[in-house]
Amino acid sequence: MSIEIVNRQYYKPSFGDVKINIMKTEGSPLGNPHYKSAFSDAGRGRAIALYRQWLWNKIKMNDPLIVGALREIAHLHRQGKNVKLECVCVPKPCHGAIIKNAVEWLIMKNLNTAGYLELIVPTVYM
């Protein structure tokens, strides 16, 4: 059970992997709407910072498409799958790292004392 960001141009899947495309240009709901800022190395960090804000807002709004996609990744991860988030950035920084953090945060927040994953979006305090 892992979540890894991979470069879809080079990554060779292993048996049991679950690949999830996270590219805006290919219609992924988890794509970065600010991806064009990442076309220069100077803008890459900014694009990822903007994505972090964007994703956080979507979680706070409980956007069904975005939160649903994050929950799906959380489910797969908890089922012991090796989730591969596919983009073309690696080895450069990628917004996939933000997705991974968000999924891990959702799992942590939703684990009750018995260890169940309830998958309820946590209340966010501003």
Site residues for Zn ion per CB under 5 A? 87, 89, 94
**50 near 31, Cβ under 8 Å?**
no
Please say which residue, 32 or 106, places its beta carbon nearer to Zn ion.
32
Q: How far is the CB of 86 from Zn ion (least distance, A)?
A: 9
- All residues at 6 or more sequence positions from 45 whose CB lies less than 8 Å from its CB, including other chains: 93
Q: How far is the CB of 91 from Zn ion (least distance, A)?
A: 11
Please say which residue, 41 or 123, places its beta carbon nearer to Zn ion.
41
Helix/strand/coil for 19: strand
Q: How far is the CB of 47 from Zn ion (least distance, A)?
A: 9
Pull the structure tokens for residue 14: 């292993």
